[in-house]
Structures are given as structure tokens and as C-alpha cells.
Amino acid sequence: MLLSGLGMGLTTYSSQSKLSKVTALKEQLFKLNTLANELKTSSDKLSQFARSYANTRNERWLGLFNYVLLVRQGKVPLPSEYTLDYWDKLSAPNVPLPQIDTNSTGTSIIDRLEQTGIQPIELAKLRNALAKSDALVNLESRAFNAMKGLTQDQFGNWNVQGEPNFELARKILFSDEYFAAKANIMTEIEQAYHSVESRLNNQVKRLKEEYEVVHFANSILIILLVSNIIISFYLLWSLYIKPVATIQRQVVQNVKDKNLNFKLNESVRGELSVFTKSMNFLLENISEQLNFNTIMKDFGMALRGKKRPPSPRRRTVTIP
């Protein structure tokens, strides 16, 4: 019974531990999914705002483009209501852009991905996807420079002023090179995310299987413990409680009737057998002493010419 109780304690602790690990892995997977979607969304919004700026020449879209980059790079704090639809709400007409405080910084998306606890090789894949997204920003910067009429000098610096070329800007942002780079980024993000997701899901599956085994073992131990309690109570009742109650009731009744000429059944099992033998030995001595006293009394009465009524016969009490 003690071993069953200890086993139940260990299996219960183990099952709770595995459930806690499953919960932690699911939370990690949820955070990773949110950040992966944020990375994809930021890349999509950069493309959207860059193209909108090239088509409309509205500086608002350039401001949104730069703000997305600052948030992703952790150069400004995260917005207080930063949800997946945040950029859609912010790009709506007549919605003012937030005041950008460059004196305070936030946490970059790659740092937040690292904080989820993913493995180094998985983080490296996401860094590679982010690097390709940053390379796409270089194409978008080329388009913006074309709109400003800036070209590169012999050292690669964009400081040669010329005429704005809006057509070139649109060609860059809608070129095959741009679309290929965009597709490559999304593929990298998707592959990196699915690699982490597959690993975490496998861990969750393994922990759930282990939990089922431990839970089954715990159920078996509960059944064994309950069975031991029932069997122990039955043995206690049949070997001790019931025989003792019967002996007590019959001894009290015979003493109440002033009858000491009886004998207990010695067929009971266990330690009660020794007890009944001792009781019978005691009762026999008492009975012999009483019989002797009775004989002596009868002898005395006979000498005086009197008779004594017959004494009750000896009885044997059987304990069921």
C-alpha cells in the first residue's frame, strides 16, 4: 500500500511536469508563429508602402516605410497596440503617423525571435531570411533615389544629383528581380518557421505520449491502492474486528448471566487463536476452582443433611 502511494505521488508529479512542458512548448510555438507572421507582414508592408510612394509620390508612404523599418530593427519602441493589423489601420486615410522618438529604442524582431528559445541553427535561418529582406530594402532605396534624381558616384555613394526618374523607380519596384527576391524572402521565412514548428510539434507529441503512459500507470496504481485498501479492510474485519466483537459480546453475556462454565472456540486464525486458548485456559482454571468450591460446599451441606440444587451444564461457545 505504501509503495502504491509513493508510486502514485511520483506518477502524478511526472504527469504534471509533462503537462507543464507541453504548455510551455505551445506558448513558445504561439510566440514564434506571431513573430514569423510579423516578419512576413513587415516585408509585405515595406513593399506596399514603397510601391505606393513610387506611384503617388506622397511622402506619407515614405514615412510609413521608414517607420516599419525602425520598428523591425528595434530602433524605436514597439507601438502599444502592435497587432497584425496595426499597419493596415495606420495606412488608412486621415490617420496621423505617430511621433517617432529616436532617443528611446525597442527590441528588434530578431532579438525577440531569439528570446523565444529557438535553437541557434533555426535562428540562423531566420537571420538569413531577414538579411534577404534587408537586401530587398536596398532595391527599394534605389527606387527612392531614382525618384529624388540621385545616382551613384564612382565610389558608390548616392550623391550625384540629377533629374527625378519616377518611371525607373516604378520599374525597379515591379521588376522581375524584385518579385524574385520577394518570393525568395517568403520562402526562407516559411522554411525556417516550419523547421521550428516541426521540431516543437514533435516534442509536444512525444510529451503527450509520455503523459499518456504515465497517466495509465497512475490509473493502475490508483486501482491497486483502492484494491489494497478494500482487501486490508476485509482482512481486518474478518480476522480481528468481527471475531473480537463476537468474543466480547459472548463473554459479556455469559458474565452477565453469571455463567463462567463456557469455552471459546479455538479455530479462529492469527493472533486471536493464541488469545482464545489463553482465555479458555483461564476459564478452565476458574471453572475447576468453582467446581471444587461447589463440591466442598455440597460436602459440607451433606454433612448437615441438606441438598444443593444441580449446577448448570458446561457450554461451549463457537465464534462464527
Q: Decide if 284 is inside a domain.
A: yes
pLDDT at 317: 44
Can you list the residues of the chain whose pLDDT is less than 50? 314, 316-320
Q: Decide if 43 is inside a domain.
A: yes
Q: Decide if 237 is inside a domain.
A: no
pLDDT at 2: 57
Residues 284 and 186 occupy one common structural domain: no
Q: Which of 245, 286, 242, 244 is nearest to 263 (CA)?
A: 286
CA angle 301, 302, 307 (to 5 degrees): 70
DSSP-assigned states of every residue in 56-102: H--HHHHHHHHHHHHHHHTSSPPPTT--TTHHHHHTSTTPPPPPP-T
Query: Sign of the C-alpha dihedral, residues 183, 187, 193, 194?
Result: positive
What are the residues facing 316 on neighbouring strands? 263
Q: Decide if 235 is inside a domain.
A: no
pLDDT at 319: 45
Q: Decide if 249 is inside a domain.
A: no
Domain termination residue (choose one: 219, 243, 273): 219
Domains identified in the chain, total number: 2
pLDDT at 65: 93
**Global confidence as pTM:** 0.65
pLDDT at 171: 93
Residues 141 and 51 occupy one common structural domain: yes
What are the residues facing 158 on neighbouring strands? 152
- Give the pLDDT confidence of 123-137 residue by residue, as tens digits: 888 888 888 888 888
Residues 153 and 299 occupy one common structural domain: no
Residues 167 and 282 occupy one common structural domain: no
Residues 52 and 200 occupy one common structural domain: yes
- Give the pLDDT confidence of 129-188 residue by residue, as tens digits: 888 888 888 889 999 999 988 887 777 787 888 888 999 999 999 999 999 988 988 888
Q: Decide if 224 is inside a domain.
A: no
**Structural domain of residue 290, as residue ranges?**
258-317
Residues 64 and 191 occupy one common structural domain: yes
- Give the pLDDT confidence of 97-132 residue by residue, as tens digits: 888 777 778 889 889 988 888 888 888 888 888 888
pLDDT at 266: 66
DSSP character for 237? I
pLDDT at 279: 75
pLDDT at 179: 92
